[in-house]
Homo-oligomer: A and B are copies of this chain.
């Protein structure tokens, strides 16, 4: 008697994973595999995972890593897949290690101002939990309501308040990591200060899951942020706005946000009806939004208002209270909806790709002008918004993905923007990371010796190259 052709042959990888992980932790249906195949980056290669595994304990993560390794199968760690560089994209046949179910806050230590948590905690949930204890976790990437702490650490995420409060990396005191061989490594400390041995903690921060899987983090906290006051200033030229940013920095202000909207962004937010940007006023080439949460915020905002006026601002609106501050800051929060609305204005479905480069602060205005030039040359709509205080810009290229010429032009523009940033002494990524999208450009930013050392470090920690292969390094 012949066996029927449709007999289900057991998948040995799944069987081995199932020896430790419960069935509900193993996702294999097509929809889940597709959903977990890529992050929020529109370009970049992404493959079909063999399985998505959702562990709930460190031991389960160890089992997944060891099981995959024994079979030469790649492991791709994922958080909430909000990343913008393809760092969480699956490779075909891999095990996707989704860390979102390891989302417990293990300890909030108010006396020592620190928190211990699992990697799958959503950033906003962590911030809310520590706020409930009278503390603050400042890092605020744009996706903070959905992204995870583990993803923030793995990508070295930034945000709006970095100009005063620093980036995710600055808050990571210690990590527990599952290494490529399945062993657990604890690095860092529980103390504010500590210099015992090499700083391996920072080696894992921003390594995009290529050196190990983060399974626990100890993060520093700060006292609550006082309420902010904000101002909005409109400028006739990008150079004038750049001059205002320079003056604010030179005069020793440390704003809690210092954001710039270029002409296209200002126009889009105005079109969506923001009262401080729309109406019949002269169109601005750039808008600055500046906030201060210092104890002397009122004096600071007043002084920065004067600096904007000195830099020939068309208009400056300085908030006197919380409500007016809310109105000013709304202009920044309206940027993505405004660009989406602009993009959706026609009939076609469009893609908005958010780029990320950084230059020394003083070169900001030059880079913005070069980006406007690049947009014209490539016949593209590029709206730039940026963390001006950090010299970190996000040019957003809006294009029709169904139009091969537009896709080609978008990619060319994107290359031109990174080239411009490097030329100005900057970096190809200020806070989004390298992932798959920028690994060729990383090789241009780094010297050959540095690139070699990067490869050596990768080989040291992942000799078989099974941890998130193809990310950071080709």
Contacts and interface: CB of A to CB of B under 8 A. Distances in A.
Contacts of A186: 447, 450
Contact of A472 (B113, B163, B191, B197): B197
Given A111-B250, A250-B111, A193 B392 contact: yes
A134 B250 CA distance: 8
A336 interface: no
A26 interface: no
Contacts of A185: 447, 449-450, 453
A111 to B, nearest CB: 3
Interface string A289-309: 000001110010000000000
Interface range for A: 35 or more
A195 interface: yes
Interface string A206-236: 1100010000000000111000000000000
A388 to B, nearest CB: 11
A361 B190 CA distance: 10
A132 interface: no
A299 B450 CA distance: 49
A446 to B, nearest CB: 6
Contacts of A179: 449
A453 B64 CA distance: 22
B442 A197 contact: yes
Nearest to A205: B199
Contacts of A446: 196-197
Contact of A433 (B189, B195, B453): B195
A429 B195 contact: yes
Interface of A: 109-114, 134, 155-156, 158, 162-163, 167, 169-170, 179, 183-187, 189-200, 202-203, 205-207, 211, 222-224, 246, 249-250, 252-254, 294-296, 299, 358-362, 387, 389-392, 425-434, 438, 442, 445-447, 449-450, 453-454, 456-457, 460-461, 472
Given A195-B432, A294-B295, 18 more contacts: A109-B362, A111-B362, A112-B391, A113-B361, A114-B360, A134-B252, A156-B199, A158-B193, A162-B192, A186-B447, A192-B389, A192-B392, A195-B427, A195-B434, A198-B211, A198-B472, A200-B457, A223-B253
